[in-house]
Amino acid sequence: MSNVNKVILVGRLGGDPTLRYTRGNTAVSNFSVATTERWTDASGGKQEHTEWHRVVAWDKLGEICGNHLAKGKLVYVEGRLRTREWIDNDNIKRKIVEIIAFDVQFLSSAHKSETDKNTDHEYRKEEVKKIRYN
């Protein structure tokens, strides 16, 4: 069996994406996506945990994400994990895990509607804009 490195997220943007271009004029967009898990504990109390994910989108996908996504928008992201390591200016070894996106779908506007608040996991097809880059 071959190896698999695949990530699928549905969450909200934590801030507006940054869009820049490399020296070779390749677009690259960086943004963070929050996913929140909610549950009821043994004593009946409501609990939640939010996980933050760093996402990188390249080329045309990066340009589209950088120009059309905004803080609070609900997105579907599909990609692969990549770990980078470097030594910072203070000579400290740093490590970061990123998701290299190859599919992004815009699922909603920046603000939650009453429908979104009650059914975050259900999306109307007409709201979905699909962008794929391979």
At 108 the pLDDT is 77
> Do residues 36 and 117 lie in contact, with contact meaning Cβ atoms separated by under 8 Å?
no
125 has a pLDDT exceeding 90: no
DSSP string of 66-98? HHH--TT-EEEEEEEEEEEEEE-TTS-EEEEEE
At 54 the pLDDT is 97
Q: Which tokens in the block code for residue 12?
A: 């909200």
Q: How confident is the model at residue 109 (pLDDT cuts 50, 70, 90)?
A: low
User: 133 or 31: whose pLDDT is higher?
Assistant: 31
130 has a pLDDT exceeding 80: no
Mean pLDDT of the chain, nearest integer: 86
- Go through the domains of the chain in sequence order and give each one's CATH number: 7-132 (2.40.50.140)
